[in-house]
């Protein structure tokens, strides 16, 4: 038998796309049911960037991979609030050039730059986006100092944080979706069903009317709705649509920011395991940007595993070590394919030759920043990497680097259901309605036509607010 729910609008997923969508619709008086596969975990209930957090709030404990040469490891939040609960909170608007590229390349209607930036203003105020009031962490300060010593452009990236204790940076509280848009949606009457996965939508001649779900105990649940808005993220939105029989361009254009990492050891304690650096180096942007990563001791061990036999002794000095990354804009593309009988889709990604070269250049330049910042030893993340102690070792790094031997990863996934009025390149219309359907919408990172070249959450949220408002207007 199982449980049954009725609602006006079903929203699948409660992350950066789903939560603002739920708030806008519920506040407009629509009867909204949000279904989220992961659990509700209050901010502060687990230590940020810890292995426990990966266990509870990440999909597959953070271990998922897009196959390719090399394969790319990717992580996704899987909890109420999605990626916003676990991410670094670094806020960047898309550039005007990016917005223009999207508008022109995908024929996106009603997408004026000024309107979009006004939505970004709204997101910034709703999430209290601001810079750190007090001192930066030592690892962030090192990155800043290294860039300054080389004369390379860098800045502090603001975050969605409040600081209840004034300039005590450690008191910062992340303004994720469980603290902002989800409580707003619930206050306006939205229902939120966590620990429940949407397996399939029943679609008849382009019209969806029912969803089949599985609850935490594995029991069946059904939901009948008038409209469905899929916000399950760039991997699981296309997978759900494909499981529901919708195909076309869906899942084909996966875009990511591929990233390579290194660990840097300084002569003094720099490790703050529950925070990440807020500085980024933008000298080579948008092609390349450098920043700091989570540096929990377990993650440092992971960063050393590529050349464990030469680097393993360093792990005992973990308080002196922090992890940094070089992220690139990629010309490659990937694909998400739901496979019958499998729970997770098959994800593939193809880096181009240029992408592989830029990854190598990026790692060498990031190593240069670390040396300029006073690092005593740098441990790059690729098989048979040398330990870099000086500029001479940098040449060895460049000689030995091979992208296929590198641990490439990403946390920025998008573009699997691109929006726009050009059906040659888009899979949903300019406001996210999936082509070939009259009531199946997407409203998350899948809609971004390509990777924005900056941290994407601001773009995802602004697009979600825009489309949710259009949905409400159309309903009226
Ligand atoms: C570790 C990490 C660090 C990051 N750092 C930053 C940063 O500093 N700045 C930035 O701008 N961006 C950052 N990002 C990226 C940012 O979090 C994402 O771009 C954003 O969350 C994408 O929003 P979304 O709504 O598309 O997907 P998500 O936020 O991932 O939400 C999708 C939700 O849908 C749920 N779901 C999936 N399938 C189903 C289903 N079948 N049924 C029900 N629910 C389902 C998932 O559990 C998830 O909660 C980071 C991401 C990660 C993982």
Is 59 within the bounds of a domain?
A: no
Q: Do 183 and 117 share a structural domain?
A: yes
Is 220 within the bounds of a domain?
A: yes
Q: For position 176, what pLDDT does the model report?
A: 97
Pocket-testing residue among 10, 12, 15, 53, ligand 1, by greatest number of atoms within 8 A of Cβ: 15
pTM equals 0.97
pLDDT tops 80 at residue 314? yes
Q: Do 444 and 340 share a structural domain?
A: no
Is 345 within the bounds of a domain?
A: yes
By the 8 A CB rule, do 48 and 173 touch? no
Tell the residue number behind the tokens 């996106």, with chain if given: 108
Over residues 72-94, mean pLDDT: 96
Model pLDDT for residues 134-147, shown as the tens digit of each residue: 899 999 999 999 99
Distance in angstroms (rounded) separating the CA atoms of residues 154 and 362: 15
pLDDT tops 80 at residue 65? yes
Is 323 within the bounds of a domain?
A: yes
Query: Of 366, 382, 410, at which residue does a domain stop?
Result: 410
Q: Do 463 and 434 share a structural domain?
A: yes
pLDDT tops 90 at residue 49? no
Model pLDDT for residues 189-222, shown as the tens digit of each residue: 999 999 999 999 999 999 999 999 999 999 999 9
Which ligand 1 atom is at minimum distance from the Cα of 59?
47
Confidence at 168, pLDDT banded by 50, 70, 90: confident
Q: Do 163 and 230 share a structural domain?
A: no
Pocket-testing residue among 87, 199, 464, ligand 1, by greatest number of atoms within 8 A of Cβ: 87
Confidence at 51, pLDDT banded by 50, 70, 90: confident
Q: For position 63, what pLDDT does the model report?
A: 83
* pLDDT mean across residues, the chain: 96
Over residues 169-181, mean pLDDT: 91
Nearest to 209 by CA among 256, 244, 178, 163: 244
Residues flanking ligand 1, CB < 6 Å: 12-18, 35-38, 75-79, 82-84, 86-90, 197-198, 231-234, 236, 240, 411-412, 444-445, 455-458, 460
Q: For position 344, what pLDDT does the model report?
A: 94
> For the chain, what is the radius of gyration of the CA atoms?
22
Q: Do 262 and 159 share a structural domain?
A: yes
Model pLDDT for residues 35-46, shown as the tens digit of each residue: 999 999 998 899
Distance in angstroms (rounded) separating the CA atoms of residues 267 and 24: 51
Q: For position 343, what pLDDT does the model report?
A: 92
Over residues 237-246, mean pLDDT: 98
pLDDT > 90 in the chain, percent: 91
CA of residue 139 to ligand 1 center, whole Å: 25
Distance in angstroms (rounded) separating the CA atoms of residues 329 and 334: 14
Q: CB count, 10 Å around CB of 167?
A: 10
Q: Do 422 and 400 share a structural domain?
A: no
Q: Which residues pair with 227 in a beta bridge?
A: 9
Confidence at 5, pLDDT banded by 50, 70, 90: very high
Query: Of 370, 388, 410, at which residue does a domain stop?
Result: 410
Give residue 445's region: left, alpha or beta (phi > 0; psi -120 to 50): alpha
CA dihedral 324, 328, 334, 337 (to 10 degrees): 30
CA of residue 427 to ligand 1 center, whole Å: 20
Residue nearest to atom 48 of ligand 1 (CA): 82
Distance in angstroms (rounded) separating the CA atoms of residues 49 and 188: 32
Nearest to 387 by CA among 372, 403, 373, 371: 371
Q: Do 292 and 156 share a structural domain?
A: yes
Query: Of 410, 425, 442, at which residue does a domain stop?
Result: 410
Which ligand 1 atom is at minimum distance from the Cα of 76?
53
Confidence at 8, pLDDT banded by 50, 70, 90: very high
Residues labelled as active-site residues:
412
Domain, as residue range, for 191: 3-40+79-127+175-251+414-475
Over residues 89-98, mean pLDDT: 97
| CATH number of domain containing 429 | 3.50.50.60
Over residues 426-454, mean pLDDT: 98
Q: Do 272 and 147 share a structural domain?
A: yes
Is 64 within the bounds of a domain?
A: no
CA of residue 414 to ligand 1 center, whole Å: 10
Confidence at 277, pLDDT banded by 50, 70, 90: very high
Residue nearest to atom 3 of ligand 1 (CA): 87
Distance in angstroms (rounded) separating the CA atoms of residues 388 and 370: 10
Of 60 and 359, the structure prediction assigns the larger pLDDT to 359
Is 317 within the bounds of a domain?
A: yes
Residue nearest to atom 50 of ligand 1 (CA): 87
Of 153-162, 169-178, 454-463, which range is least confident? 169-178
Q: Do 163 and 276 share a structural domain?
A: yes
CA of residue 247 to ligand 1 center, whole Å: 22
DSSP string of 399-431, one letter each residue: HH--GGGB-EEES-EE-SS-BSS-TTT-SB-TT
**Domain count along the chain:** 2
Which ligand 1 atom is at minimum distance from the Cα of 444?
26
Model pLDDT for residues 331-389, shown as the tens digit of each residue: 999 999 999 999 999 999 999 999 999 999 999 999 999 999 999 999 999 999 999 99
Q: Do 402 and 442 share a structural domain?
A: no
3-state secondary structure at position 213? strand
Which ligand 1 atom is at minimum distance from the Cα of 82?
49
């Amino acid at each position: 038998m199982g449980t049954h729910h009725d609602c006006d609008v079903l929203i699948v997923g409660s992350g950066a796309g789903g939560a603002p969508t739920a708030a806008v619709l519920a506040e407009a008086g629509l009867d909204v049911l949000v279904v989220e596969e992961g659990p509700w975990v209050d901010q502060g209930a687990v230590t940020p960037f810890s292995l426990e957090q990966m266990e509870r709030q990440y999909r597959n404990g953070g271990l998922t991979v897009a196959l390719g040469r090399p394969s790319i490891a990717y992580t996704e939040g899987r909890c109420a609030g999605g990626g916003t609960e676990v991410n670094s909170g670094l806020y960047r608007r898309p550039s005007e050039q990016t917005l223009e590229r999207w508008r022109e390349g995908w024929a996106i209607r009603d997408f004026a730059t000024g309107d979009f930036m006004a939505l970004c203003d709204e997101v910034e105020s709703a999430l209290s986006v601001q810079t750190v009031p007090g001192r930066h962490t030592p690892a962030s300060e090192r990155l800043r100092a290294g860039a300054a010593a080389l004369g390379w452009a860098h800045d502090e990236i603001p975050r969605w944080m409040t600081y209840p204790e004034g300039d005590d940076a450690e008191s910062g509280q992340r303004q994720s979706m469980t603290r902002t848009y989800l409580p707003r949606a619930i206050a306006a009457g939205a229902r939120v069903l966590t620990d429940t996965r949407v397996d399939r939508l029943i679609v008849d001649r382009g019209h969806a009317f029912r969803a089949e779900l599985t609850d935490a105990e594995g029991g069946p649940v059904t939901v009948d709705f008038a409209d469905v808005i899929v916000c399950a993220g760039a991997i699981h939105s296309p997978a759900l649509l494909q499981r529901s029989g919708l195909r076309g361009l869906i899942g084909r254009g996966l875009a990511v920011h591929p990233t390579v990492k290194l660990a840097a050891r300084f002569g003094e304690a720099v490790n703050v395991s529950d925070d990440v650096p807020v500085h980024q180096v933008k000298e080579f942007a948008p092609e390349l940007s450098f920043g700091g990563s989570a540096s929990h001791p377990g993650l440092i061990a992971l960063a050393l595993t590529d050349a464990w036999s030469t680097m393993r002794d360093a792990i005992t000095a973990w308080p002196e070590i922090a992890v940094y990354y070089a992220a690139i804009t990629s010309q490659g593309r990937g694909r998400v394919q739901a496979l019958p009988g499998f729970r997770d889709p098959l994800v593939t990604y193809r880096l181009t030759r240029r992408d592989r070269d830029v990854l190598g250049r990026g790692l060498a330049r990031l190593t240069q920043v670390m040396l300029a910042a006073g690092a005593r030893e740098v441990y790059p993340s690729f098989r048979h990497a040398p330990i870099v102690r000086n500029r001479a070792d940098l040449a060895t790094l460049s000689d030995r680097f091979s992208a296929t031997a590198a641990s490439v990863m990403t946390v920025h996934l998008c573009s699997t259901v691109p929006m726009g009025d050009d059906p040659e390149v888009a899979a949903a219309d300019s406001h996210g309605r999936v082509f070939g359907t009259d009531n199946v919408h997407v409203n998350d990172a899948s809609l971004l036509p390509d990777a924005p070249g900056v941290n994407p959450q601001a773009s995802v949220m602004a697009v979600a607010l825009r489309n949710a408002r259009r949905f409400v207007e159309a309903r009226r």
